[in-house]
Amino acid sequence: MKIAVCVKAVPDAFGRRIDPATFRLDRTGDLSLSEYDAHPVEEALRLRESNGGEVIVVSLGPERAADALRKTLAMGADRSVLVSDGAFAGADLLATAHALAGALRRETADLILFGQQSADGDGACLWAAVAESLRLPVISQVSEITVVDGGLVGRRQTEFGYERIRVPLPAVVAVSDAINEPRYPSLKGIMGAKAKPQEVIGADDVGGEGASGTSVLSVSTPPARARGRRIEGTSDPAQDIVDYLVKERLL
C-alpha cells in the first residue's frame, strides 16, 4: 500500500504572530511539525507495518520546512516531497489544495492521510478540497481505520455520534488525534533520516501556482480578555482555588 501523508510545518506555538505588513502569519522563525500531523504519520507507519508498501510525506511550505519534515522521516517515513515556491506565499485553502493535489498526482498513492487540523490556521477542511481536486472519496474525523478487501472502513465521530464509512481505494482520510499515540523517533531513526530522499519541487511541477479566492483586509487585536490569575509553586494550590472561588462568589 502506497500511502501519502500531507503535513504542515508551522511556527512554534510561542512565536506565532501576524506580519503587520502582509497580514500573513510570520513564518520567518523556527518551524516544526504541526502537533496534529504526527498522528497520520504514525497511522501510515502502522498500515505499512501490517500491509507493506511505502510512506511518502507531502507538504507545502518554505524550503526551511524540510527540517521539520525530517522528523517524519526519523519516525519512519520513507521520503518527503516539499512543494516550495514563492508563488505560493500566502496561499489560501484553494491554492493550497491545488498545490498539494498537484504533488499527489505525481505519486498516485493508494491512500492519502491528513491530520485533523493545522496547528496554526485552525482550518479543518483541506482534505475535502484535495479529495475534490483528485476526484477521490473522502472520510474526515476518523478515529479508527480498518483495511478491508479493496478498501477501508473509517470510524468517524460527528456531532451526533459515531459512523462507519467504507471507501474503495484510492481514498483521502483525515484522522483525529485520538486515533493513536505517535512514536518518538529513535536515535537510529534520527541518524537514518539524514540519508532519506527529500525532494523539493516548484509550482511548475504541480501544474502552476493556482489561484487564491480570498484576501485578508485587515488585522486587529480585540480587547484581550483580562489576563487570568496564575497559581504556580504555592504551598497549597487547592486552598488557593477555594479562596478564589469564595472571592468570586462561585460557591
Partner 1 sequence: MKALVYLEHHEGDVLEASLGVLSKAATLGGDVAGVVVGSGVRALADGAGSFGASSVFVADDERLASPLPQPRVDVLARLVRHEGFDTVLIAQSVLGSDIAAGLAVRLGAGINWDLTDIAEEDNALHGTRPALTDSISVAVGWTSDVRIAVFRSGAFDATPGDGTAEVWDATVELEEHSVLAELVEATRAESSGPSLEAAAVIVAGGRGLGSAERFDLVEGLAEVLGGAVAATRAVVDTGWWPYSGQVGQTGKTVAPRLYVAVGISGAIQHKVGMQRSGTIVAINNDPRAPIFDYADLSVIGDLHDIVPRLTVLLRDRRGS
Map residues 67-106 to x or -, x wherever contact with partner 1 holds by CB under 8 A.
-------------------------xxx--x---------
Q: Which of 1, 87, 124, 190 binds partner 1 (CB under 8 A)?
A: 124
For residue 156, state whether it binds partner 1 (rule: CB under 8 A): yes
For residue 208, state whether it binds partner 1 (rule: CB under 8 A): no
For residue 191, state whether it binds partner 1 (rule: CB under 8 A): no
For residue 138, state whether it binds partner 1 (rule: CB under 8 A): yes
Residues in the interface with partner 1 (CB under 8 A) total: 84
What whole-number distance in Å separates Cα of residue 49 and Cα of residue 112?
16
Would you say 77 or 104 has its CB closer to partner 1? Answer: 104
Whats the size of the chain, residue-wise? 251
Q: Is the backbone peptide bond immediately before 185 cis, with ω within 30 degrees of 0?
A: no
Going 30 to 36 to 37 to 42, the CA torsion angle's sign is: positive
Would you say 40 or 76 has its CB closer to partner 1? Answer: 40
- Binding piece for partner 1, criterion CB under 8 A, among 46-54, 55-63, 74-82, 226-234: 226-234
Q: Which residues of 55-93 are buried (b: 16+ CB within 10 A; e: fewer)?
A: bbbbbbbbeebbebbbbbbbbbbbbbbbbbbebbeebbb
- Restricted to residues 8-47, the positions that interact with partner 1 (CB under 8 A) are 13-14, 16-18, 23
Q: Are the C-beta atoms of 74 and 33 separated by less than 8 Å? A: no
